[in-house]
Amino acid sequence: MKRLLLTTAMALAAQSAFADEIRVLNWQGYGTDLDWSLEAFAEATGHTVVHEYFTSEQEMLTKLRTNPGAYDVVLINAAYTARAKDEGLISPIDSSKIPNFVDLDPNLAENEDLNPGGELYGVPWTWGLTSLAVNANEFSEVPTSLSVLWDPALKGRVSIRDDGLEAVQFAAMATGQNINDIQDMDAVKEKLTELLPQITTFWGSENDWNQYMASGEFAVATYWSGSASRSIAKGLPITFVVAEEGAIGWLDGLSVPSTSEHKDAAYAFINWMIDPEFYVKWDAEGAPATSNAKAAAGLPETSFNRKVLGDPATVAKVQFMRPVSDEDRETYLKLWQGLKANQ
């Protein structure tokens, strides 16, 4: 027993000697800062984690540009990975240092936007959809088309998020277009012009959405898949719908800033974040979908992410966001602001 205790103490002392404090840059409350996970990670590796947060992708990029050496892991939406790489803000990923990498869905691990120039710069972590959620008590049959947003019978009980890019992308899908290659902006403008009188109010947060739906103000509204999972768990009578025209997909990756001074510890943390044991526990708290195929297979049958996002036919309808040029983004926002001003 004394020898066992001595061996354990020596192992812990050695672990402590090589332990690092790593700094993670992410959205607040988005998986990497869960107390129970950080405590388990520290116990397993000796590394401690400090978080800093951003409220937009632009703020995230600015923090990386202006604080060299300050961060070791950063959450980057795949649509922004190439920009961060081109600016020299992040390093190529050595997947051999991430044991759980072998269990990632190959379609996500090989995602073009996480592999700009053919080299991995972001480890796929989570993904999800922006689609529709309907008040199940309002429909005898669940709608299957985005056209429900334009149903005259639902005028004044429809909502979308006040986001110009998202609004344009939904209108593009509704007119049969690719959200990443919109060719007919006149059709998009016409569709949005028809949509605005349908809207009761714009929603801006998950809490807002829940309150409006619970009070009966919404019959149908755009929504995030992870949020829908949490709203259903809270007892809201909603059904999440992936329409026949499609849904907007997003993919988030974990990257290592080029100026990180603790890259091995950063890899250890990324490996922890894609570990099936971590994800299955997080899923029960309302996580987005996982990039880890082994983790997805380990979810209970009742899991929202398994039931809704685990169907290949559903995933096949998703249009994942690609990078949007500054010029196109400005065009979309200008159109959206103009349409709202004319209401």
C-alpha dihedral (247, 253, 209, 331), degrees to nearest 10:
-60
- Reference 185, options 306, 330, 71; nearest CA is 330
As a whole number of angstroms, the distance between CA 139 and CA 148 comes to 11
Q: What is the CA radius of gyration of the chain?
A: 22
As a whole number of angstroms, the distance between CA 257 and CA 88 comes to 9
Whether the CB-CB separation of 23 and 246 falls below 8 Å is answered with no
| pLDDT by residue, tens only, the chain of 343 residues | 434 333 433 343 344 446 899 999 999 989 999 999 999 999 999 999 999 999 888 899 999 999 999 999 999 999 999 999 999 999 999 999 999 999 999 989 999 999 999 999 999 999 999 999 999 999 999 999 999 999 999 999 999 999 999 999 999 999 999 999 999 999 999 999 999 999 999 998 889 999 999 999 999 999 999 889 889 988 999 999 999 999 999 999 999 999 999 999 999 999 999 999 999 999 988 899 999 999 999 999 999 999 888 877 887 889 999 999 989 999 999 999 999 998 7
Amino acid at 17: A
DSSP for 147-213 reads: GGGG-GGGTTSEE-BS-HHHHHHHHHHHTT--TTS---HHHHHHHHHHHGGGBS--B-SHHHHHHHH
Position 2 scores a pLDDT of: 39
Specify whether the backbone of 328 is left (phi greater than 0), alpha (psi in -120 to 50) or beta: alpha
* pTM of the entire predicted model: 0.80
End-to-end alpha carbon distance in the chain: 78
110: its two tokens? 């090989």
| Helix, coil or strand: residue 259 | coil
As a whole number of angstroms, the distance between CA 202 and CA 196 comes to 10
For 162-166, which contacts have Cβ atoms below 8 Å and span 24 or more sequence positions? 162/202, 162/203, 162/204, 164/332, 164/333, 164/335, 164/336, 164/337, 165/324, 165/329, 165/332, 165/333, 166/130, 166/222, 166/248
Position 264 scores a pLDDT of: 96
| Helix, coil or strand: residue 18 | coil
